[in-house]
Amino acid sequence: MPISFDRSHDIYIEAPPEAVFDYVCNPNSWPKWLAASHRIDSVDRALKSGETFREQWHIRRGEVVLNWKVTESDRPHAWTVQADTDFIGPIVIRYTFERAGDVTRYTRHLSNPGRPTAPSDEQVRRTDEEAVIALANIKRQVEQRLAQSADQRV
């Protein structure tokens, strides 16, 4: 019987939701903030519902190619992608963007609704550690991009 696995992580970013959305929903940004992501084959912009892209992913078991499809794109509120795999079932990633005063609360929700087996405690720990690093990378990248844009306008 399949096992459902879900993890959510969030961070506050000093940027409007549109800026965060445009950055993280462009798969070409993923290798800049996500350690497992090594190569993306996609147009260089935030993707819309129905669009697809390929990601070369490096995990402990080696290289894996994931074929993603955007199933939701509601700029600047939410974005969802899904990849079907033969090793852990479907992977669904959903991003949400919530304005909180002058900052954006960015949430990354990872779902694996049809795992053949439950993840080990070590896998859960690594998932959480990698998410904390990825979110910090996103925060730094987006805030730096905004600061550079502001400097160029002055």
Structure confidence by residue, pLDDT tens digits, 72-101: 999 999 999 999 998 889 999 999 999 999
Could you tell me the CATH number of the domain that includes residue 132?
3.30.530.20
SS3 at position 43:
coil
> What's the number of domains the chain is made of?
1
Helices (H), ranges, 11-154: 17-24, 30-33, 121-153
For 62, the domain range is 3-153
42 pLDDT more than 90: yes
pTM: 0.93
pLDDT given at position 124: 94
Residue 50: how many CB atoms within 10 A of its CB?
Answer: 9
Residue pLDDT, tens place only, 26-39: 999 999 999 889 99
CA separation, residue 42 to residues 2, 33, 36 (Å): 31, 17, 17
